Structure 1
Amino acid sequence: MRVLILEDDPWIADLLKQIVLSLRPGARVDCQGRVADAIAAWQREPAQMVIADWNLPDGNGTRLLQAVRSQDREVALVMITSRADRDSVLEVRPLGISAFISKPFQVPKVLDCLRRLLPGDDAPAPATASDRDFLGHLAALPDEEIDLPLSAELCQQLQDTSDAPANLQQLGDLWQHDPAVQARLVAAANSPLYNSAGQPCSNLADAVRRLGAATALNLVQGLALRPVARLQDADLQSLGEGLLQTQLSVRQRVTELARACQLDPAPLQCAALLQRMGELAVLQQAQIWRGRGLELHEDQLQRALRQHSSELANRLKAHWRLPIVLRELIGACYGLAPGNTRREPILMRLAVAEMQNADSREVQRLRRLAGLA
């Protein structure tokens, strides 16, 4: 089964894709951001469901739906729109639209809507012989397929409730300790659609404010809908929990250091949670790999962590367009850039050095550079 999505916001398009895949894991989902491209995609290969936003940069999504209806009167059409007036609904009535999704939408309602409309699922394609080299798989992985796992507790919480927290403060309190949430929301807040002024966003609170509570909640709920949202195998869970505890310890220490220096701790807290994202990305891919029925032994996993963690982290920073200031803070966890005099990177390096029981002379040097001696 094939589903065609027309949505110019890549984060919302990905969310809709995850909703479809959570209901029909075997579906092929094609996301397009322009009306002309979506019409061309339909003409190349028709789909069994079409989901289209109404207003797009190059015209109305109704053009796609008209092209579909000129060839197929049965395929399910879903219109995403902020228009709720009677005239707008009557305007597209001849197209026989199956359902309207109002913006800003709520994920549980979209799930219920698509569950009723999606055709039966296709069986996922079996693993092939060429899929049996995990390191080769990581090297060939497209950027858009690299992601981070949710913590088990937050994943369960998101899957168990459909109620949004009442305010932005509650959102921050729920998500401030999860690397996947931090990465997703900061990345979305720095994308062109949400950052028209070109001002970098380097922490969770600013990201939630920029996106708005409804969009932020939708994006986080989308993380929990992924076919592999969290680490499930015992060995992967153990490794992931160890990484998270390290990240949280650095986060706590750098918060203390920032406050001692009267600096804003928020960007440093975000960097602390993202410092091991390469390793987490490898673990996420290992869980997906095993979920496909492919073997992955301990020695292979450890080799993948050694050889590919740094590469995946760098690819994520570029793909998510993380701002330079945040990249510098993450990099400082591993070493200071030559000639650095900024206190924030020094504090990041100091926090990690303390956690690693670094030579006391190095710690004292960093404390002097930070003005804490």
Structure 2
Amino acid sequence: MRVMILEDDSWIADLLKQIVLSLRPSCQVVCLDNIGAALHEWQQRPVDMVISDWNLPDGPGTRLLEQVRRDNSSTPLVVITGRSDRASVLAVRALKINAFISKPFQAAHVATSLEALLPPDMDEQQPLPETTQDDLLTHLHSLPSSELQLPLKAHVRDRLVQSFKGEPIDLRELASEWQQDPALSARLLSVANSSAYNAAGKPCSNLLEALQKLGANNSLNLAMSLALRQSSALENPILSLFAQAHLDSTEQLIERSTNLARQCAIDPAPFHCAALLHRMGELCVLYQAQVWQDSGQSFSEDQVMQAIDQFSGPFAISIKAQWQLPMHLRELIGACYNLPSHNVKRENILMRLAACELDTEPDDPECARLRRLAGLA
């Protein structure tokens, strides 16, 4: 089974893809962001369902739907649109649209609509790829940056999935949990700082600012797209133990850095976020190891340790750039590890001091030097 999604907002497209895969795990989903590419894809290889936005950069998505209807009268067509007026619906009546999904939408409602339209999934399990001779390290070396992700905490993933299945959920309580989850914080910050949601150009450097900019519904949908991924949380016991060690370090740095910020009458929120994300390279490696295992491959504990040593740094650098984290936040994250000699920003000095005090003895000369630079001697 193949489903085509025509949507120029990559975040919405990813959510729709994850919803389809949650309903039909063996489905092949192709996401495209312009009509020309979608028409070419349809002509080359028709699909079993088309989900299309109405308004796209190169014209209305109905151009694709008209072509699909000329070629096939039974393919289910779903329109994602901000138009819910009667005139718009009547304008495409001849296309026999099977479902209209109005923006902003809720993931659970979309799933209900698609479940009724998707053809039955004939495969009970998604087929595993053929056995490869590559090992985990070779795989990570060739991994494109677009595949880099972080794992959700298992209990956060489970709560989101419960919400997707229709169980009531307290958004305020959930948002409080998100503040301790690196994957969700990184995802929401990335979207809030993207051109699609940050036209004013004012960077968001903490989760609260991102939630305020995105709104509750968008934030929940973005979180849901992470939770629905097959390898969204670490199920392997070895990977979970490694992750917990990094998360424990993160919690300690959050507490120490935010206390220093308050002591200096500085907003602690960016310190919290930087500390939360300072092990994102390591967590990314662990997530990719889980994906590797879920694809039918195997690894040893030594390979995981080697992978963390070799790839956590490059992955963190790639993530910070690709996810458009603001420079102020990147500098705070970098200060967790070292402080450039030309640095004069008090916030970065405080973050470096927090990390130094956790890693060394209380009377360490470097900590004393940093305290003097921060005005705390």
> TM-score, normalised to structure 1's length?
0.95
Distance 2:132 2:262 in 1: 52
Partner in structure 1 of residue 43 of structure 2: 43
Distance 1:258 1:38 in 2: 51
Partner in structure 2 of residue 276 of structure 1: 279
Distance 1:116 1:355 in 2: 54
Q: Which amino acid aligns with 1:271?
A: A
Q: Can you list the C-alpha shifts for 1:323-365, whole angstroms capped at 9, x where unaligned? A: 2111111111110122101011111111111111256211111
2:269 to 242, 263, 266: 266
1:371 to 342, 366, 375: 375
Q: Deviation of residue 125 (structure 1)?
A: 4.1
Q: Retained in 2: the 8 A contact 1:164–1:217? A: no
Distance 2:120 2:308 in 1: 38
Q: Can you list the C-alpha shifts for 1:288-337, whole angstroms capped at 9, x where unaligned? A: 11122211111111111111111111111121111211111111111012
Partner in structure 1 of residue 19 of structure 2: 19
Partner in structure 1 of residue 246 of structure 2: 243
Identity rate of aligned residues, in percent? 52
Distance 1:171 1:128 in 2: 39
Q: 1:197-236 counterparts in 2 under 5 A?
A: 197-236=200-239
CA gap of 1:195–1:130, structure 2 versus 1, over 3 A, is same
Q: Can you list the C-alpha shifts for 1:7-45, whole angstroms capped at 9, x where unaligned? A: 111111111111112222222221122222222222232
Q: Deviation of residue 164 (structure 1)?
A: 5.5
Name the Cα RMSD after superposition: 1.6
SS at match of 2:184: helix
Distance 1:277 1:342 in 2: 23
Distance 1:213 1:293 in 2: 37
SS at match of 1:47: coil
Q: 1:136-155 counterparts in 2 under 5 A?
A: 136-155=138-157
CA gap of 1:310–1:228, structure 2 versus 1, over 3 A, is same
CA gap of 1:188–1:370, structure 2 versus 1, over 3 A, is same
Q: Can you list the C-alpha shifts for 1:248-298, whole angstroms capped at 9, x where unaligned? A: 111111111111111111111111111001110111111111122211111
CA gap of 1:316–1:131, structure 2 versus 1, over 3 A, is farther
Distance 2:134 2:50 in 1: 34
Q: Deviation of residue 124 (structure 1)?
A: 3.3
SS at match of 1:305: helix
Partner in structure 2 of residue 160 of structure 1: 162
Distance 1:145 1:118 in 2: 27
Structure 2 residue 293 is the aligned partner of structure 1 residue 293: no
Partner in structure 2 of residue 253 of structure 1: 256
> TM-score, normalised to structure 2's length?
0.94
Q: Which amino acid aligns with 1:141?
A: L
Q: Which amino acid aligns with 2:151?
A: P
Structure 1 residues without counterparts, runs of 5 or longer: none
Distance 1:38 1:275 in 2: 39
Q: 1:39-78 counterparts in 2 under 5 A?
A: 39-78=39-78
Q: Retained in 2: the 8 A contact 1:247–1:276? A: yes
Q: Which amino acid aligns with 1:174?
A: E
Q: Retained in 2: the 8 A contact 1:131–1:137? A: no
Q: Can you list the C-alpha shifts for 1:142-188, whole angstroms capped at 9, x where unaligned? A: 2222101111111111112344546xx65542311100010000001
Distance 1:304 1:7 in 2: 35
Partner in structure 1 of residue 354 of structure 2: 351
Q: Retained in 2: the 8 A contact 1:172–1:204? A: no
1:328 to 315, 328, 331: 331
Structure 2 residue 192 is the aligned partner of structure 1 residue 185: no
Q: Deviation of residue 67 (structure 1)?
A: 1.4
Structure 2 residue 199 is the aligned partner of structure 1 residue 196: yes
Q: Retained in 2: the 8 A contact 1:25–1:227? A: no
Please, which moves more after superposition, 275-284 or 322-331?
322-331
Distance 1:140 1:96 in 2: 44
Distance 1:285 1:188 in 2: 22
Distance 2:281 2:16 in 1: 26
Structure 2 residue 116 is the aligned partner of structure 1 residue 116: yes
Q: Which amino acid aligns with 2:149?
A: D
Structure 2 residues without counterparts, runs of 5 or longer: none
Partner in structure 1 of residue 107 of structure 2: 107
Distance 1:165 1:8 in 2: 31
Q: Deviation of residue 132 (structure 1)?
A: 3.1
SS at match of 2:310: helix
Distance 2:152 2:59 in 1: 37
Distance 1:345 1:55 in 2: 44
Partner in structure 2 of residue 318 of structure 1: 321
Distance 1:20 1:309 in 2: 31
Distance 2:255 2:212 in 1: 23
Distance 1:235 1:335 in 2: 29
Q: Retained in 1: the 8 A contact 2:131–2:297? A: no
